[in-house]
A and B are shown apart, each in its own frame.
Chain A
């Protein structure tokens, strides 16, 4: 079994010009190179291993001879030769002989070499195929996130492990297992056909959204926001929009992420505590992100194929446009939640709709509606926190206290706990 090779990153002390150049090429081109190699080899693990080998040689050669004219083309060619070496070393290499011959012929193809050397944009872009492979629903959810980040985000295994608070070895084993399943189960490196596309695109978008949320809401750990994940999610989302410009929900997701991201600077205070939307300093919201997110959303909505991501982005846009919490257009938000509940009838959407309702018509009606959700959302921390807030507003202090206690018991991060404890304390003194 092919093991996960070590991530090739120069450490701080040996970092040289070549090291930085390799790093820069990896960051910007990793996904494209790896996707291209995987398509050539039809073997994900071999592509990953061969590219790691090529990066290792690049560190040596580039340091000695300087950067090649087209580093990405150099890496692709070197990786192909490394793949041939790896195939020859395999115990079952006879069964791969045809494959080896094909790669040798490809390598000898001067036209191909010149084409690559002349123009890096001639490297065929297979990233969209790879996104569908990495986000395949036949893979475990966490593996989809990790594999997408490793393959298309260019994050190292180490960085992904850190982001998910896993051990490096566990994350490496997870990635190897996922690539092995792709090979053995025959998950293709292809864009699904039109009958499967809607479901599969959904899977892709949800992986990107989960990556963003993992960074934005950070379900565990000390730091409430992990920017490397939110940044990668936005980058991936942009890529999907560029590759599938017709898909309005892809644009809806990008708009949603931009609009959430715009509020990031205000989401935590200087001590790292969470600041609720209601109390955020709206001056610190990123206006460029808001403008871009809103423009993307408007274009998507104009196409008239509304979906859950566009609706959530529209709700987010209402918040971004409001000068203050009290001047928010709650009627508009409630109307959007009604539409969202129709396309995505899940209890969390219902809960959020009720919170908008509470703003528009007072807490009593919303609290009544929440009773029906108590069973399904029993283990959902935000349910208890929101309920506690509404109970406090109606003066039911004892009930509110119990609800805060339930929310605190369900918190998974210190920031969340500290925030709820402040609210609870305020209740006792107020």
Chain B
């Protein structure tokens, strides 16, 4: 089954760039991605630019409206994702728990919908 792991955290929380801690944090991400690839679970995964770069688009009455900022103003923002192919939810939970941001933020695990 495919699971989308959505990675949320408060921007500015967690290890800050330029610190030794941040290097370890990034190494942990590389290691996690490598492991998922080795285990054949990795489908896709990316980090997102900060929420200050977000633009929200909606179409009403056939007209596109564009707004600055994210859809929802919450403390914890979507900062990245992994799309993983896992055996079942327990497997996906075990993988999500290895995502470094889970230690200060949270990871939402959602199964990908299959149309049949």
A residues contacting B by CB (< 8 A) are 92, 95, 136, 138, 184-188, 190, 192-193, 195-196
A196 touching B116 by the CB < 8 A rule?
A: no
A92-B116, A95-B116 given; A186·B94 CB < 8 A: no
The smallest C-beta distance from B38 to any residue of chain A, in angstroms, reads 18
CB<8 Å pairs between A and B, sample of 7: A184-B111, A186-B3, A186-B88, A186-B111, A187-B89, A187-B90, A188-B90
B116 touching A190 by the CB < 8 A rule?
A: no
How far, in angstroms, from A192 to B111 measured CA to CA in the complex? 19
How far, in angstroms, from A196 to B90 measured CA to CA in the complex? 8
| Residue from the set A92, A186, A187, A196 with the largest chain B CB neighbour count within 10 Å | A186
* B1 lies within 8 A of chain A by Cβ: yes
> Which chain B positions have C-beta within 8 A of A92?
116
> Which chain A positions have C-beta within 8 A of B111?
184-186
How far, in angstroms, from A275 to B90 measured CA to CA in the complex? 45
How far, in angstroms, from A196 to B91 measured CA to CA in the complex? 10
How far, in angstroms, from A390 to B86 measured CA to CA in the complex? 56
B90 touching A192 by the CB < 8 A rule?
A: yes
* B107 lies within 8 A of chain A by Cβ: no
* B92 lies within 8 A of chain A by Cβ: yes
A136, A186, A196: the one within 8 Å of B1 (CB)? A186
* B24 lies within 8 A of chain A by Cβ: no
A190 touching B88 by the CB < 8 A rule?
A: yes
Which residue of chain B lies nearest to A138 when distances are taken between CB atoms in the complex?
A: B89
* B87 lies within 8 A of chain A by Cβ: yes
Which residue of chain A lies nearest to B1 when distances are taken between CB atoms in the complex?
A: A186
> Which chain B positions have C-beta within 8 A of A192?
90
> Which chain A positions have C-beta within 8 A of B90?
187-188, 190, 192-193, 196
Nearest 6 A-B pairs (CB), nearest first? A188-B88, A95-B116, A186-B88, A186-B1, A186-B89, A187-B89
Which residue of chain A lies nearest to B87 when distances are taken between CB atoms in the complex?
A: A188
B94 touching A196 by the CB < 8 A rule?
A: yes
The smallest C-beta distance from B51 to any residue of chain A, in angstroms, reads 28
A186 touching B92 by the CB < 8 A rule?
A: yes
Which residue of chain A lies nearest to B116 when distances are taken between CB atoms in the complex?
A: A95
> Which chain A positions have C-beta within 8 A of B93?
138, 196
The smallest C-beta distance from A188 to any residue of chain B, in angstroms, reads 4
> Which chain A positions have C-beta within 8 A of B89?
136, 138, 185-188
> Can you list, as one digit per residue, whether each of B82-108 has a CB less than 8 Å from chain A (1) or not (0)?
000011111011100000000000000
Given known contacts A92-B116, A188-B90, what 8 new A-B pairs fall within 8 Å (CB)? A186-B88, A186-B92, A188-B87, A190-B88, A192-B90, A195-B94, A196-B90, A196-B94
How far, in angstroms, from A188 to B92 measured CA to CA in the complex? 11
The smallest C-beta distance from B2 to any residue of chain A, in angstroms, reads 10
How far, in angstroms, from A304 to B92 measured CA to CA in the complex? 34
> Which chain A positions have C-beta within 8 A of B92?
186
How far, in angstroms, from A112 to B88 measured CA to CA in the complex? 29
The smallest C-beta distance from A93 to any residue of chain B, in angstroms, reads 10
How far, in angstroms, from A195 to B97 measured CA to CA in the complex? 12
How far, in angstroms, from A167 to B86 measured CA to CA in the complex? 38
How far, in angstroms, from A187 to B116 measured CA to CA in the complex? 20
> Which chain A positions have C-beta within 8 A of B116?
92, 95
The smallest C-beta distance from B35 to any residue of chain A, in angstroms, reads 15
The smallest C-beta distance from A62 to any residue of chain B, in angstroms, reads 38
| Residue from the set B86, B90, B92, B94 with the largest chain A CB neighbour count within 10 Å | B90
